Structure 1
Amino acid sequence: MESVRRSSAVVAALLLVCVSMVRAEDPYLFFEWNVTYGTISPLGVPQQGILINGQFPGPKINCTSNNNIVVNVFNNLDEPFLLTWNGVQQRKNSWQDGTPGTMCPIMPGTNFTYRFQVKDQIGSYYYFPTTGLHKASGAIGALQVHSRLLIPVPFDEPADEFAVLMGDWYTKGHKTLKKLLDSGRSLRRPDGIQINGKSGKVGDNDQPLVTMEAGKTYRYRVCNVGLKTSLNFRIQGHTLKLVELEGSHTVQNVYDSLDVHVGQCMSVLVTANQEPKDYYMVASSRFTRSRLLAVATIRYANGKGPASTDLPAPPPETAVGIAWSINQFRSFRWNLTASAARPNPQGSYHYGNINITRTIKLVNSRARVDGKVRYTINGVSHTDAPTPLKLAEYYGAQDKVFKYDTIKDAPEAGAKPQVLTNVINGTFRNFVEIILENPEKTIQTYHLDGYSFFAVGMEPGKWSPDKRKNYNLVDAVSRYSIQVYPGSWTAIMTTLDNAGMWNLRSEMWENAYLGQQLYVSVLSPARSLRDEYNLPDNTPLCGIIKDLPKPPPYSI
């Protein structure tokens, strides 16, 4: 009898452990967003914008590493709509990536619920729409991932933190801009710069964007959410201590100003150690023929006096400015002693000791196809297919939608530009080197969904294998976007360990819309849940796979 009691106690204890494990699942955060048109005035001119819950910028997602995010999006526009989560890696889950190559759009009058986990990530990110030119009209917001309490952060907790979403802006709406591009023309110079939905001018007595208390230190999470213009960020009378760059803690260097290229985010610490009064936060354009500038007011609590009209000087321009900016990039170093979530494979911070299994050289160009402007990578200008590429691949119908490896691992001299659906076949868990070469006269920025990568090298001129001797193979920052200067190249390295269909694109949205992007298909041969989640039950179907039988699910 006693043995029976003991057995029962053991079973009860095991059940209690199991229940505790179930209850210990990472927390869920739930959001309901209504996407509508509404009147906004980022440059002081009323225009139609795209709002989320009536807001521009949209609602902030404030979460913690490993949280599960559930966002129910209702599309009340008159057009299909999708959101992507810029920099969130969507481990094993490209189904939720929010690009036309992975998902059917949310049709007008319908809703879709995104479900994803910010797995093993910390840092500063943002979301934006990927359909058409919607990004030019709004639906952009901050996504901030904090460290779990048990993981120490390499700086004291700030008194508060502020999201700064800045970017170039057009007073023409997204539909007008889309018609311009569809007609074969280019987007011209932006009309101005907005900071959190406003474009302040020197001398304006607007309400402050932020308020600081003397003697305290604050965290500014700064993102360039614009369409095409690199920006320089600086604060009158204050220095900026860089502490995080696109999900990685950095060596804490101090700067007077920082270049933030399109699609990039970073965190800086600012200490309120000046005379208590108003100061200007400044965002000004970089590498443009004429300078665009916007300011926002920072106010000291109980301070007296307006901000000085004498703004801090911008960095140099032209060739000297590019050298200045490259040197700043080289000063960014990964903080290898900081404890933090590391989304890359265990040990990959020793990336310099991993053998390269494949080198892919991607060269961008501007071309005319059938009399219209197109942008290409290795001679191919990407066009979206009616059936999302990931769904076509999952249903075994890819041969009817696209071909793998329409481009080679290096550009072919003299190849005629083509408009095709551009997909690279990546080998699961290969360690690849990607060379981004820009022979054009304008700066480029690239982003790779689903991954962080190591930006190991950047120089003027053309890349060749002997350039590897100049790579940083020790402490390059693990990040999700990188700039390529005019007439220059940038080298990145990453492990293709995240199964799915992932978008590699120019963050210059005109270029991406007109073809400067591609998809990387990374298939797990095992078709195992260890490597990739099953197709979510709520996934809308479209194109040629809409009425096909659902394939067998992945198994353990």
Structure 2
Amino acid sequence: MVQVARLVQGALLLCCLWAVGLVQAEDPYFFFTWNVTYGTISPLGVPQQVILINDQFPGPNINSTSNNNIVVNVFNNLDEPLLFTWNGVQHRKNSWQDGMPGTNCPILPGTNFTYHFQVKDQIGSYFYYPSTGMHRASGGFGGLRVNSRLLIPVPYLDPEDDYTILINDWYTKSHTALRKELDSGRSIGKPNGVLINGKNKAENMSHLFIMKPNKTYKYRICNVGLKTSLNFRIQGHTMKLVELEGSHTVQNVYESLDVHVGQCYSVLVTADQEPKDYMMVASTRFTKYMLNATGLIRYSNSKGPASPELPKAPVGWAWSLNQFRSFRWNLTASAARPNPQGSYHYGRINITRTIKLANTVAMVDGKLRYAINGISHVDPPTPPKLAEYYNVADKVFEYNLVKDEPATVDEPTKVTLAPSIVNTTFRNYIEIILENHEKGIQTWHLDGYSFFAVAVETGKWTPEKRKNYNLLDAVSRNTIQVYPYSWAAIMLTLDNAGLWNLRSTMAERSYLGQQLYFSVLSPARSLRDEYNLPDNALLCGIVKDMPKPPPYSSGA
């Protein structure tokens, strides 16, 4: 009996040590406190009200490593409700942290809310921004990088330094003035300028970026603007593309890159030129007007100023389409997990559903609206995700108003204003066709997922076009552009339970309805598939005073 007791004690001790080890092995936490306020600055030489985070414009960078837990305590000191979304961060099983009006109640003025999410199994360059009320037009955006764990090698040598470049179009009107224009039925028109990290001209920058001779640097370039595609280039230097929205790429070299709204690239730049200053340029693309911004790179042993002659931007969207086709997934590189990316043969999976979505522009009661397959999304007082969780969805919205096929050209195009929620099947492998029937470029972003951008082509999509798909090494990413009178095809597995927003990245279009939500419900209310409603979740609408539903179980 004594021997048995000792064995039991030993087993208990081992269990305790194992449990302690689990606690000690928990992924690291990083805590941020954000004070969101108004401030007055002059990005284009005109004093205007902007949104600051901890008195910074743009906001502070979030620097993290794959699997880190990110905790951001946001104090809203604006005079309006506020939310932040994390563009490109996948939030596995956790759309509660997505920060979109369809998933979260807003942070009311004078209150705070703490986001908690894990950058799980992903690396790359991303950004955050406020998702409510056209706030992004006044700032509140910043860079978000996810570095690779030491266990997972990247397919290039460590750079000398790592720089974030935020480029965007900019308006001298405040977000409230722009919102009033949209609410009154008008477009916000063309921007007043372009910014690089909150500045318009190199002479206003105190040498933002220093490079040592013959050293290589990583530049993370994100277009955080409202509506305009931008071309980015560096005087006298080429850029080696190494990462695109969370995927290592084949390392092609480019003289310039078209960065569409919402997109992020990581490039390597080597200081192998004459030691002096050099201009970086961001300029508008696919517009009748030309606006640009300049930034400054200085060699540490600089012997002279930058040349006043700026490198020219490419012309035409065919050039941009060809550049898109040159982007390829690096199948020999490790992914965020310790396995080769090429082991996932997405091109061999059978498609279970094809959803064809077409953007629509129309006047409804004399006011401008944008729609998808005839439905122009409006946010209900109760976020649809909360309505689903509290089992009152039928009182808040109707599923599947957006059909899997748009109206044909022979049918009348009617635009209906309503919450737009598309019901999908958990773990199905689907194909989404994005059609652009307009003369302007479109750009789309999907929350919660990376998808395979298998094709962008001119003309109209038909099933026969599938023979043109790249089914081997299309880049896994979260945004895709669609050129005028063209289409794009993406493919993905709906393996991330939650409510996920597909939207135009162009702020006036998404604000006026060009967005929808995919409802990906797990049949089993299980923590294996989705996390419970957080204890600190804000409640509003009809669920505000309702008793909380039973939590999900931990069973399979």
TM-score strictly above 0.5: yes
Q: Any conservation in 2 of the 1:238–1:256 contact (CA below 8 Å)?
A: yes
Instruction: Give runs of aligned pairs for residues 197-236 of structure 1, distance below 5 A.
Output: 197-200=198-201, 204=203, 206-236=205-235
Q: Deviations over 1:188-236 (max 9, x none)?
A: 11000011010015xx374111000001000000000000000001000
2:18 equivalent in structure 1 = 17
1:392 equivalent in structure 2 = 387
Distance 1:74 1:150 in 2: 36
Q: Any conservation in 1 of the 2:334–2:341 contact (CA below 8 Å)?
A: no
Partner SS, residue 513 of structure 2? coil
Residue identity over aligned pairs, in percent, reads 71
Partner SS, residue 399 of structure 1? helix
What is the CA distance between 1:22 and its match in structure 2? Answer: 1.5
Distance 1:111 1:54 in 2: 17
Q: Any conservation in 1 of the 2:421–2:518 contact (CA below 8 Å)?
A: yes
What is the CA distance between 1:425 and its match in structure 2? Answer: 0.3
Distance 2:342 2:320 in 1: 30
**Cα distance change of structure 1 residues 30 and 42 upon mapping to structure 2, 3 Å threshold:** same
What is the CA distance between 1:6 and its match in structure 2? Answer: 4.7
1:527 equivalent in structure 2 = 525
Extract unaligned runs of 5+ from structure 1: none
Q: Deviations over 1:38-79 (max 9, x none)?
A: 012221211100000000111111000010110000000000
1:151 matched to 2:152: yes
What is the CA distance between 1:426 and its match in structure 2? Answer: 0.9
**Aligned partner of 1:311: which letter?**
L
Partner SS, residue 344 of structure 2? helix
1:507 equivalent in structure 2 = 505
What is the CA distance between 1:3 and its match in structure 2? Answer: 5.5
Q: How many residues align?
A: 550
**Cα distance change of structure 1 residues 363 and 240 upon mapping to structure 2, 3 Å threshold:** same
Distance 2:204 2:186 in 1: 39
**Cα distance change of structure 1 residues 290 and 394 upon mapping to structure 2, 3 Å threshold:** same
2:236 equivalent in structure 1 = 237
Q: Deviations over 1:497-526 (max 9, x none)?
A: 100011000000000000000010000000
1:274 matched to 2:273: yes
1:546 matched to 2:544: yes
Partner SS, residue 363 of structure 1? strand
**Aligned partner of 2:501: which letter?**
N
1:323 matched to 2:318: yes
Q: Deviations over 1:469-502 (max 9, x none)?
A: 0000000000001101111000000001100011
Distance 1:531 1:491 in 2: 27
Distance 2:343 2:99 in 1: 27
Which of the numbers 319, 333, 337 marks the counterpart of 1:338?
333
Distance 1:206 1:373 in 2: 39
Q: Any conservation in 2 of the 1:223–1:264 contact (CA below 8 Å)?
A: yes
1:380 matched to 2:375: yes
Q: Any conservation in 2 of the 1:432–1:493 contact (CA below 8 Å)?
A: yes
Distance 1:59 1:343 in 2: 30
What is the CA distance between 1:5 and its match in structure 2? Answer: 3.8
What is the CA distance between 1:347 and its match in structure 2? Answer: 8.1
Q: Any conservation in 2 of the 1:120–1:343 contact (CA below 8 Å)?
A: no
2:99 equivalent in structure 1 = 98
Distance 2:364 2:337 in 1: 43
* Ranges of 4+ aligned residues in structure 1 off by more than 4 Å: 1-4, 342-348
Instruction: Give runs of aligned pairs for residues 447-458 of structure 1, distance below 5 A.
Output: 447-458=445-456
1:286 equivalent in structure 2 = 285
1:118 matched to 2:119: yes
What is the CA distance between 1:437 and its match in structure 2? Answer: 0.3
Distance 2:196 2:298 in 1: 16
Distance 1:543 1:555 in 2: 26
Partner SS, residue 21 of structure 1? helix
2:62 equivalent in structure 1 = 61
**Cα distance change of structure 1 residues 197 and 540 upon mapping to structure 2, 3 Å threshold:** same
Q: Any conservation in 1 of the 2:331–2:342 contact (CA below 8 Å)?
A: no
Distance 1:542 1:371 in 2: 31
2:364 equivalent in structure 1 = 369
Distance 2:389 2:341 in 1: 28
RMSD of Structure 2 on Structure 1 (CA): 1.5
What is the CA distance between 1:340 and its match in structure 2? Answer: 1.8
1:440 equivalent in structure 2 = 438
1:262 matched to 2:261: yes
1:467 matched to 2:468: no
Q: Any conservation in 1 of the 2:333–2:340 contact (CA below 8 Å)?
A: no
Q: Any conservation in 2 of the 1:422–1:519 contact (CA below 8 Å)?
A: yes
Distance 1:280 1:106 in 2: 40
2:352 equivalent in structure 1 = 357
Distance 1:475 1:344 in 2: 16
What is the CA distance between 1:290 and its match in structure 2? Answer: 1.3
Partner SS, residue 270 of structure 1? strand
Extract unaligned runs of 5+ from structure 2: none
